Structure 1
Amino acid sequence: MLLNINTDPRDHSTCALSYEAENNWLRATWRGYVDPAEAMRGAQAYLHHAAQMPSPLLLNDNSQLRGPWFDSLDWLAEVWVPQASRLGLRYVAHVQQADRHSDIIPARMPSSVPFELQIFQNLEDAQNWLRQCRIPS
């Protein structure tokens, strides 16, 4: 179920947020060249919708991004991460963009986040890992 989509009218880059009931996760799908303002709007949309439809699982799909992505990891670490954690986020599968040298999340995300963050090179592996996270230990 599509919850939110932000599209930049200049270049048609997007951030789409959906809830996948069969997997009980939220999915953020990023496409094109996303500038910092777009990235922040997408991240804030996640927080807004996670408050209404909490899920411990997030699939963050950057596989279709181009160029540098969201240069404000300080904002992510200081604002987004604590809020997402309070909303119940426990597992994040981050799929790297194709031009991985532009994806700063793996190299610069603080190591002490209050949820488990796994980095993947392809969507299928990320989905399989999140499915395993749903199984109670």
Structure 2
Amino acid sequence: MRTLFDTPGLTIIHDPANKWLFATWRGEHDETSSMAGCAMILNKVRLTHCTAILNDSSQVLDGWSEIVRWIALEFFHALADSGVVAIAWVTAKDWPARTDIERVLLYTTRPLVDTFSETESAYSWLLSTATKKP
């Protein structure tokens, strides 16, 4: 595995064996930092041709209320258009962030997204769900 991007608020790691990205969000994010992080994830998906993402928001301290629909209807669609078939999303322990994640899922039509309370379950789900390409 190789770290592709690392800041205090977001780390992106590439797992070439599984064709996955691991995105770990930390701390507080506003509309600007959230959209910049999403753009970086999309950039790395396009660069690596990954088909799945383990999106860990367990350390996030605030939600994405300003961009809930944008995440579901634009960002997730761009990920799907770039080849992502599944996203395992580890939910935040912070209540406002957890609520925003649930709101994102209400609008999400693609790719396949499921939520988990811990990383191990998310990882197992991706192993059984994500399509692996040679």
Write 1 or 2 for the structure with the bigger share of helix. Answer: 2
Quick check: 1:65 aligned with 2:66?
no
Contact 1:56 1:89 in 2 (8 A): yes
CA distance in 2, matches of 1:77, 1:55: 19
Contact 1:2 1:17 in 2 (8 A): yes
The structure whose RCO (Cα within 8 Å, separation 6+) is larger is: 2
1:109 aligned partner: 105
User: Which of 75, 78, 103 lines up with 1:83 in the alignment?
Assistant: 78
TM-superposed deviation, 1:32: 1.0
- Show structure 1 runs of 5+ residues with no match: 8-13
Which TM-score applies when normalising by structure 1? 0.83
Amino acid at match of 1:105: I
Contact 2:27 2:59 in 1 (8 A): yes
1:43 aligned partner: 38
Q: Which moved more, 1:64-73 or 1:54-63?
A: 64-73
Percent identity over the alignment? 24
Amino acid at match of 1:51: R
User: How big is each residue's C-alpha offset from its partner over 1:8-29, in whole Å with a ceiling of 9 and x where there is no partner?
Assistant: xxxxxx1111102243210110
The aligned length equals 130
Quick check: 1:56 aligned with 2:45?
no
